Amino acid sequence: MKILFVCTHNRCRSILAEAMANQLGDGMISATSAGSAPAGEVHPMTLQALKSRGVPVKGLHSKSWDNLDSLIPDVVITVCDNAAGEECPLWLGEALKAHWGLADPSSLEGSKEEKMQAFDDTMNSLATRINGLVGLLKQQADKNQVQIYLNSWHSKN
């Protein structure tokens, strides 16, 4: 299953989701991420948080969805509320779509420890969602079952 994770700036949540899905996907998921207005760089604490969990960071970079027009994803998941409200490019038309609204750990005010806890909380949430999706794929769930599962996380943080 090819998944595109979208967040407006593609520097934190979507990058976390991409890296974690590729690690946890058990060979069943190929993930990438992009943004409508990419920041051009990955937030340093995103990379630090991933490394602290042993998640590979090689090749992660902030990119525009405009540069992915050859990608034909099976699923598009927005992870920030701004991206959820944006109109997706036409080439994403056939993909299953879902919104997993996650708080932005990079915008938290507080100590470094509090910020790292926010990153950890976001990664825990993503791990739960991704592991559930992998379980469905192992059960050979159909598109309807996958869509229901993806949508079940819409209002949960």
Instruction: Report d(CA 104, CA 63) in Å as an integer.
Output: 18
Instruction: Report d(CA 111, CA 37) in Å as an integer.
Output: 28
CA 121 from centroid of its chain's CA atoms: 14
Concerning whether 80 is annotated as a catalytic residue, the answer is yes
Concerning whether 7 is annotated as a catalytic residue, the answer is yes
The residues with which 33 forms a beta bridge, in sequence order, are 5
Q: Side chain identity at 148, as an amino acid letter?
A: I
Contacts by 145-149, CB closer than 8 A, 24 or more apart: 146/75, 146/96, 147/96, 147/98
Q: Which of 4, 6, 7, 98 is catalytic?
A: 7
Concerning whether 12 is annotated as a catalytic residue, the answer is no
Q: Which of 17, 20, 21, 80 is catalytic?
A: 80
Rg of the chain in Å (alpha carbons) = 14
Q: Which of 1, 37, 57, 88 is catalytic?
A: 88
* Catalytic residue list: 7, 80, 88
